[in-house]
Structure 1
Amino acid sequence: MKKAWILALLGLIWGGAAQAGAMRYEVDGQPFEGYYLAAGKKAPLVVLVHDWDGLTEYEVKRAEMLVALGYSVFAVDLFGAGVRPTAVEEKKKLTGALYQDRPRMRKLLAGALAEAGKLGGRLDNAVALGYCFGGAAVLELARSGADLRGIVSVHGGLETPAGQDYQLTRANLLIQHGSADQAVSLGQFTALIAELESAGIRHEATSYSGAPHAFSVFGSDNYRADADAKSWQRFTEFLGEVTKG
């Protein structure tokens, strides 16, 4: 199913069907494949960062859900045009390369934000949302001092890299974590809360009972409908609180 969706997406891009949401952009001369849906010129913007699968039908579904609520969405691509890994080792390799090169990750995120602005997204009224690997990436945006109204990490990586801190953070942070997450521990969750509190960063952090890593991924073995519904409700409330209508 995923391969079929990727082929369909590439067909839209190469066929020039920008109205369908799929589009190409470049960062440092490298091509990337994003997905943009507009809810109107005045709509707040959500910049959506994918998990370690790359930009797939999951992110497109979330984008559609957000547009239905009145938000424009730009789903970014941090891996490159045509790079949508399916094997675990390939996913580890791609994400590991960016974890080891944080300046590169920041450059790709900044390039994606710039592209969202070119497409008409309101960067003056924007929130960044990331899932799993994307949840770690949006926290990189937070530490970089990105001028966003909110940054939301959903079952994302939470450890702060050596030599980094949250002193430059401008955005309100929302951290959503599964209490049964075996990939990101409760110790890392509480350590981040302590770090944010010490730095005086406005934040809210919730852990969901019994929820494992990737609890929001529809159709997966780890999907937990109750935790997903609660996290989505709080996320949409948060959007209304931090963005200008």
Structure 2
Amino acid sequence: MKTFLTMALTLIVSITYGQLKPVSYQDGSQKLNGFSIAPAKGDTKKAGILILPAWMGIDKHSKRVAAELSQLGYHAFIADIYGEGNYPTDVKSAGIKAGYYKKNITEYQQRIKLAMQELVKSGADASRIVVIGYCFGGTGALETARENFPVKGIVSFHGGLDRDSTRTINPIMPKVLVLHGADDPYAPVPVILAFHKEMRTAKADWQMIYYANAVHSFTEAEAGNDNSKGAAYNELADKRSWKHMLMFLDEVLAR
């Protein structure tokens, strides 16, 4: 049975969810369809959070995240990476499309940059932006740090950590928070160690937090609860990672 608090929070999120505003924007001739949401209680923080969805594109999870951030007083914008007519229809097509942007990283960066511009247009302070991403979106969030986008920080939830080893490692200015499932099969130890080395070489201000018994997609309720599949929801890791993100936001966006 749901508690009164759970039902109240569900009601709040559902009401705010309806406040998401579709936003059409362009990358050349490609139409993109993102979502914007303003702070629920007035423009209290002026800070903006750019949300980069997982590999299926804009989904229920990214919309819930935007609604919750709105309740906390943030402007939020959900980026459309793929563009109209190019949305995945299943896991196979999602893997192909996400793989394209991982290989053509400058195109991924461009889509993120355009979404960031829309976030600022919606009312967010351009000097107080944080990028957060989930899975494929976590990879994108790390790219904004690697390319020193004008953001205060980035948060990667169970995101891809690997990078082309031939790329030059430049100093990283945005603060970095990586929230990672300790049992994530998609991030083998060599990849994790290479990422640690990259962060040290880049002299980044970085944190990496591991969650026990958590695999890939631990924030995604729609992922089910079977860890043996490699991707599954973990309620405790989801709650803990959310709190860790909020602490990070309080730090990097402090006036």
Match of 1:235 in 2: 245
Counterparts of 2:244 and 2:96, CA distance in 1: 33
Q: Gaps spanning 5+ residues in structure 1: where?
A: 1-17
Shift of 1:91: 0.4
Match of 2:229 in 1: none
Picking from 174, 197, 200, the partner of 1:197 is: 200
Shift of 1:228: 0.7
Amino acid at match of 1:36: S
SS at match of 1:180: coil
Shift of 1:211: 0.2
Match of 2:159 in 1: 156
Match of 1:9 in 2: none
Counterparts of 2:151 and 2:75, CA distance in 1: 15
Counterparts of 2:97 and 2:58, CA distance in 1: 13
Structure 1 pair 43/97, CA: closer, same or farther in 2 (3 Å)? same
SS at match of 1:26: strand
Match of 1:99 in 2: 102
Shift of 1:20: 3.8
SS at match of 2:210: strand
Match of 1:209 in 2: 212
Q: Which runs of 4+ in 1 moved over 3 A?
A: none
1:115 aligns with 2:118: yes
RMSD of the alignment, in Å? 1.7
Between stretches 112-121 and 31-40, larger displacement belongs to: 112-121
On the 8 A contact 1:166/1:201 being kept in 2, the answer is no
SS at match of 1:124: coil
Amino acid at match of 1:25: Y
SS at match of 1:138: helix
The share of aligned pairs that are identical, in percent, is 28
Between stretches 45-54 and 194-203, larger displacement belongs to: 194-203
TM-score, length of structure 2 as denominator length? 0.84
Match of 1:37 in 2: 37
On the 8 A contact 1:178/1:212 being kept in 2, the answer is yes
Q: Gaps spanning 5+ residues in structure 2: where?
A: 1-17, 225-231
Counterparts of 1:63 and 1:176, CA distance in 2: 18
Between stretches 25-34 and 82-91, larger displacement belongs to: 82-91
TM-score, length of structure 1 as denominator length? 0.88
User: Can you list the C-alpha shifts for 1:113-139, whole angstroms capped at 9, x where unaligned?
Assistant: 112222222221010000000000111
Match of 2:4 in 1: none
Amino acid at match of 2:30: Q
Counterparts of 2:126 and 2:69, CA distance in 1: 16
Structure 1 pair 236/82, CA: closer, same or farther in 2 (3 Å)? farther
Counterparts of 1:219 and 1:68, CA distance in 2: 22
Amino acid at match of 2:99: G
Aligned length: 228
